[in-house]
Structure 1
Amino acid sequence: MPDQPTPPAPADLASLRVEIDRIDDALHDLLMRRSDLVAHMASARLKGSAPTFRPGREALILRRLLRRNQGALARGAVVRLWREIIAASLAQQGQFTVAVSAMAGEDGVATRLARAHFGLLTPLRAQATPFRALACVAGGEAAVAVLPAPDEAERPEPAWWMQMEAPRLRVVAALPFLAPPDAPAEGYAVATLSPEPTGRDRSLLRIEPGPDHTRPRIAAILAAAGLPPLWLIRRESPVPMALAEVPGFLSEDEPRLASLPFPRLQILGSYAEPEPEE
């Protein structure tokens, strides 16, 4: 029978607990200092008219921390801790509410994603449909809406991405931020913001196809333009429309978009590429 590890002596265990308490105090001191700095920025209006919610900036913070993370602390714990810290900072700078789609028959994915990304204490406004959640953001009742990811097998009525009012509303984040490699997003965050590039981004394109633009044909056209879709769906009701996620941060003056032969094309948003869990 292999030797069992010797448990720490009571004196050693007591010393370790004292050290953990000391670290907890130091962490608390730093968090209070961080909170004071956020309060100073808010009271002094150092940001001017700039938005307090900056998903691109948040993604850069998390990526930097994940790059320097080592030892026994799990990547998921880092993201969860700092998502709560970021949520607390947003709450300090003004009312911050998230609208979530709670349509009958859904499994609560939007609520789960919103809680994980925007914190346990952030107020949520449950809405009967994705369109009501989008209306909350458009009307200023919520800062952001969290909606389930598009699915080609959705109900026959129009999907939220087919009727989303762009460019007034933009997809600004894919959720969750930490995900298995190559896994599709489970949901998206929509806000009245201009997205900011982070260096590793993706964009959503809403496409009105022509009569001969089958799904494979649309994918081939995008790939030939240097925009190979990571995924692509096409809906026929109430009108033919396609949605594609492509790599890179795209702006309205993107030259590759001007040459595409579709009757109409819109950028629904750009956002940080999720980070791998491991």
Structure 2
Amino acid sequence: MVDSVDDLRREIDDLDNNLHDLLMKRADLVKKIGEEKRRNKIQVIQPDREAVMIRRLMDRHHGALPRHAVVRIWRELVGAVSLLQTDVKVIVCAPDEQMTEAWDMAKNYFGSVVPMQKMTNPMNALSMVKEGEVTFAVLPWPDDQDPKPWWAYMRGESPEKIAHIVASLPYGSGVDSRTRPGFKALVVGCLKFNDSGNDHSFLFLDLDDSISRARIVDRLKAMGLTPLSLLSRKGHPGLERTQHFVEVDRYIANGEMTDQILVKLENTDGNCICLGGYPVIPALES
């Protein structure tokens, strides 16, 4: 019996050595990829590529190791190698009573080695992203009760200061049972929101007051888009405008599609911008 246990432990030690060798090799390859990206001016951090990787692993995964553990391991890897490619810094923004949940979700997503700091004011956090003081901000999921919602201030004065939503937290359902049910956040950074093959998008609409929320929902559905949430606020004082924040169930790129939305709403002098979105991650409970 003892010999059998010892043999199994030696086999595990060999596997650990092999895993460590592969991790070191992977880190070297990622560092080389980062150098090539910078040389060719390619976006270094790519949440869409990371999501495709996670989906591929979940499709092939089997056995006793929980799915959420696999995702945690790979998110830790992604966070560690991101520091090899670029200087990643994260600010976590949440009210004091929600900071523990927000911090845990951010740590699960970015990993334990990426520097993070806390803040309670989302407008200040968003400004730090735009000014390049931090790479990402984890911001509270928007709700209708906020009189000054951060999503209304995402547009930048110059292309390099345009922030996009690039991920949602928690990263897949069932990742962390300590997180209160329904507690969510969004990750914002000054990088492009790219198509991962299964995404949700957030649209910013600045429309005439005559355009009702019901019309927005109906016209988006007529275009094959399913609105998942719709928040609204009055625009600038003195202007008969209303701003809307709409989540839809597919990837939207700025350009032809956003122009078509304004035509469908019969408000071509309005404004429709995709503020980004997030890759949909498979359920991780099992």
Q: TM-score range by the shorter chain?
A: 0.7 to 0.9
SS of residue paired to 2:264: coil
Q: 1:228 to 1:43 in 2, by over 3 A?
A: closer
- Alignment partner of 1:163 is 2:165: no
SS of match in other structure, 1:152: coil
Please point out which of 115, 118, 128 is paired with 2:120.
128
Structure 1 residues 52-72: Cα deviation after superposition (integer angstroms, max 9, x where no partner): 211111111111111111111
Question: What CA distance in whole angstroms lies between the structure 2 residues aligned with 1:44 and 1:191?
Answer: 22
Q: Distance in 1 between matches of 2:109 and 2:170?
A: 7
Counterpart pick for 1:95 among 87, 99, 118: 87
Contact kept, 8 Å, 1:57 with 1:198, in 2: the verdict is: yes
**CA-CA distance at 1:111 after TM superposition:** 2.1
| Aligned match of 2:51 | 59
- The superposition leaves residues 26-63 of structure 1 with CA deviations (integer Å, 9 ceiling, x where unpaired) of 11110011112223334566653222211111111111
* Aligned length, in residue pairs: 266
Instruction: Indicate how the Cα distance of structure 1 residues 47 and 16 shifts in structure 2: closer, same or farther if over 3 A, else same.
Output: farther
Matched residue, 2:141: 149
Deviation at 1:266, TM superposition (A): 1.8
Q: CA deviation at 1:272?
A: 1.0
Within-5 A mapping of 1:104-123: 104-123=96-115
Moved more, 242-251 or 99-108: 99-108
Secondary structure, in 3 states, of the residue corresponding to 1:161?
helix
CA distance in 2, matches of 1:231, 1:185: 16
1:204-241 Cα deviation digits (max 9, x unpaired): 01223433444333222221222121222233587743
Aligned partner letter, 2:271: R
Structure-2 separation of matches of 1:212 and 1:44? 50
Larger displacement relative to structure 2 (42-51 or 134-143): 42-51
CA 1:138–1:20 in structure 2 vs 1: closer, same or farther (change >3 Å)? same
- Structure 1 position 195 matched with structure 2 position 193: yes
Q: Does structure 1 conserve the Cα–Cα contact (< 8 Å) formed by 2:94 and 2:119?
A: yes
Q: Please say if residues 83 and 119 of structure 1, whose CA atoms lie closer than 8 Å, have aligned partners that are also in contact.
A: yes
Aligned amino acid, residue 82 of structure 1: W
- Root mean square deviation, CA, Å: 2.4
Instruction: Provide structure 2 residue ranges, at least 5 long, that are not aligned to the other structure.
Output: 175-180
Deviation digits for residues 68-106 of structure 1, max 9, x if unmatched? Answer: 111112110111000000111101123110122144444
Report what 2:178 is aligned to. Answer: none
1:239-258 mapped onto 2 (5 Å cutoff)? 240-255=242-257, 256-258=260-262
- One-letter amino acid of the counterpart of residue 173, structure 1: A
Selected match of 2:277 from 266, 270, 276: 270
Deviation at 1:110, TM superposition (A): 3.1
Contact 1:100 1:130 in 2 (8 A): no
Residue 229 of structure 1 is matched in structure 2 by: 227
Secondary structure of the 2:86 match is coil
The 3 A distance-change label for structure 1 pair 210 and 147 is same
For 2:17 and 2:252, locate their aligned partners in 1 and report how far apart those are by CA, in whole Å. 45
The change in CA–CA distance for 1:237 and 1:211 in structure 2 (over 3 A counts) is closer
SS in 1 for 2:74: helix
CA gap of 1:134–1:83, structure 2 versus 1, over 3 A, is same
**Which letter does structure 2 place at the counterpart of 1:223?**
K
In the superposition, the TM-score normalised over structure 2's length comes to: 0.84
- Percent sequence identity is 33
Rounded to whole Å, the distance in 2 between the matches of 1:213 and 1:45 is 44
Counterpart of 1:3 in structure 2 is: none
> In structure 2, what residue type is equivalent to 1:172?
V
Q: Which protein has the bigger helix share?
A: 2
The Cα of 1:138 is off from its aligned counterpart by 0.8
Q: Could you say what secondary structure the match of 1:27 adopts?
A: helix
With normalisation by structure 1, the TM-score equals 0.86
